[in-house]
Amino acid sequence: MKLLNFNTPKTRGPVSGLRSSCWALLLFPLACVSPHPSGIEYVGGEDSITSDGLHQIAWEPFGATFVRPGARLQNYHQVIIDPVTISYEKKPSPGRIAYNSIEPNYKLSGSAQVSMRTSFTAALERQLILSGRFEAASKRGEGVLRIRGHIFDLAITAPPMTDQPPDSSTIVANSGHMTLALDLVDSATGQTLLRVVERKAIRDERKFFVSEPVAQSGALREIFGRWAKKLLVEIDQLSALGEIPYPGG
């Protein structure tokens, strides 16, 4: 399993920089220092501070949360949502080759990737803009947040309908997995203020479902909707603090 190391000096792009040590942060117990009166507990250890100055905190609702001490999220009232980037855990197998594989990994069609990006953006817009929490911004500037989403380590493990036998359907508990990293960036300075990370199986609320495009799209919309709600909670919680306190402050 790959580790996601946010403070690696060998970052070669937004996704490669996210792919180096997050699993250690998501899977192992956190070593926390004494909590600040605000309720924030900063996490200790060499992997708890990223190369761009974010500090990991023990905080809900995401699997891992990194903040910039001193940031004031309540000062932002407009938002720009960038198109989400998508990358695979490993190179997908072409067509039916994956059907007989011990570890199947299918490639999404071009239209499926477009649908995935559209659903992701729609979920964020519904929670952040249509709810009235933020106004949509057309350009960068003071008081404008930029949200950059990255879906990586994507694996589609259940065959699409075109790769299933004509006389049967594949029933699955989930059709793969993916990890999300969301960066909230000051659009004027380019400085990242908040980063959240979470890994999810691609499934809906049912115990089992048929592996086909409609069900898979529904499962993705559910996941994106929950992530968007969590992000709104995260923003509101940190905004209520005024200034995010410094460690030991």
**What percentage of the chain has pLDDT greater than the value 90?**
49
Report the interhelical angle of 213-239 vs 110-128 (nearest 10°): 30
Question: Per-residue pLDDT tens for 38-64?
Answer: 678 998 877 889 999 999 999 889 999
Non-local (6+) Cβ contacts of 67 within 8 A are 40, 54, 55, 57, 59, 193, 194, 238, 244
10 Å CB burial of residue 24 (0-12, 13-18, 19+) is middle
Q: Is the pLDDT of residue 12 over 60?
A: no
The mean pLDDT of the chain is 80
**What percentage of the chain has pLDDT greater than the value 70?**
70
Set out the domains of the chain in order of their start, with CATH numbers: 73-238 (3.30.160)
Count other C-beta atoms under 10 Å from residue 248's C-beta. Answer: 9
pTM of the shown model: 0.79
In whole angstroms, what is the distance from residue 154 CA to residue 105 CA?
9
Identify whether the C-beta of residue 244 lies closer than 8 Å to the C-beta of residue 140. no
Q: What type of residue sits at position 119?
A: S
Helical ranges in 73-208 per DSSP H: 110-128
